[in-house]
Amino acid sequence: MNLSAIDRSASSRLTTWLVGLVLGGALWVAAYSQLAAFADALVGALGLSRATAFGEAVHFFFYDTPKVLLLLTGIVFVMGVIQTFFSPERTRALLSGRREGIGNVLAATLGIVTPFCSCSAVPLFIGFLSAGVPLGVTLSFLISAPMVNEIALVLLFGMFGWKVAALYLGLGLLVAIVAGLVIGKLKMERFLEDWVQKILAGQVAQTAGEQISWLERLQAGAAHVREIVGKVWPYVLGGIALGAGIHGYVPEDFMASFMGRDVWWAVPAAVLLGVPMYTNAAGIIPIVEALIGKGAALGTVLAFMMAVIGLSAPEMIILRKALKPTLIATFAGVVATGILLVGYVFNWLL
């Protein structure tokens, strides 16, 4: 096959993709607009009434499940395309050599649009440091990437509106930036594990770039949906099922008695409760929605969510492979302090 035939084939496939995206987008909008009617119809078909606890729980499940999955699929595809512009090599190239301050802001911002989670912490951590990225800048990225990610922002926007999503974005970035700055100023490189320090003493990693076509970018978006949605849907169903139980069976204002805005110790208790847990934004946000519906304060519940996503025990265990206990404790303490402030600010403002 000659080059012109290959070009025509690629152009034809790109056109097919674009037509499919237009049709898929129209179907997505139509489905999203009928979520309430869909849940009402299913509850009615099962002979249930929303006046009962079970009926209300079932309605919550049937409404939130397609809602979260639709939001998740749409945003993961879009971000999968965007992330083709931010390969690990390009991200390292953008961050390496940056001064602290500017570097922390850039690192935290890049964390929003890059496909990295706490599971990627150790290889990313080593790769960034070996490319010349300062320790504090690297930690700003590693805090932001799992905690202030596109899934959390879109689900918060879909469930609570743009003000909550924007405030979460701003405060989450602030936590990542300030935590990285503080740890950078403390000059704690000596608390990296010895094998990491040996790598840093060697040759700095080289960066590489790659140009890909729009067809490949769209295919990467679809692959991102298969990988991410295929991986997190059990968490989604589990989180929504738990949220449905809370929504249907927990008495009104029960959560306000110990997670309300007037309970001063609620925010630190929520952070401590979140640390042993491990899930992702897609699984935890339906629980957040249900808790708030039962009287829990928004700031308290979001502090719980941030602790689960960005400060979980499994993440600390992973990072322990590269960080000595002193640095782990400092990292956890600084991030936890930031999360506490976010919780109190949300409770004060909203």
Q: 230 versus 88: which is more confidently predicted? A: 230
**Residue 157: other Cβ atoms inside 10 A:** 18
Residue 127 contacts by C-beta under 8 Å, 6 or more apart in sequence?
A: 88, 92, 205
Degrees, nearest 5: CA angle 331-332-336? 120
Which tokens hold the place of 101?
């301050």
Q: Which pLDDT value is given to residue 41?
A: 92
In this predicted structure, the answer to whether residue 229 has a pLDDT above a threshold of 80 is: no
Per-residue pLDDT at 31: 92
In terms of Cα–Cα distance, which of 67, 71, 38, 43 is closest to 57? Answer: 43
Q: Which percentage of the chain shows pLDDT scores above 90?
A: 6
Domain boundaries, given as residue ranges, for the chain: 17-84+214-244, 98-198+249-349
* pTM exceeds 0.85: no
For residue 264, give every residue at least 6 positions away whose Cβ sits within 8 Å of its Cβ, in sequence order, or none: none
Q: 11-29, pLDDT tens digit by residue?
A: 888 888 889 999 999 999 9
Q: What pLDDT does 23 receive?
A: 94
How far, CA to CA in Å, does 10 sit from each of 2, 13, 18, 216, 319? Answer: 13, 5, 12, 10, 43
- pLDDT band of 255, cuts 50, 70, 90: low
**H/E element, 225:** helix 214-249
pLDDT attached to residue 249: 79
| DSSP state at residue 205 | P
pLDDT tens per residue across span 285-343: 777 888 887 778 888 888 888 888 777 776 777 677 778 899 888 888 888 888 898 88
pLDDT, averaged across the chain: 79
| Mean predicted confidence (pLDDT) in 47-51 | 87
For residues 247 and 249, what is the distance between their CA atoms, to the nearest angstrom? 6
What confidence tens digit (pLDDT) does each residue in 164-219 have? 888 888 988 998 899 889 888 888 888 888 877 776 665 444 444 457 788 888 88
| DSSP per-residue string spanning 227-253 | HHHHHHHHHHHHHHHHHHHHHHHSPTT
Looking at the DSSP assignment, which residues form a beta bridge with residue 192?
A: 323
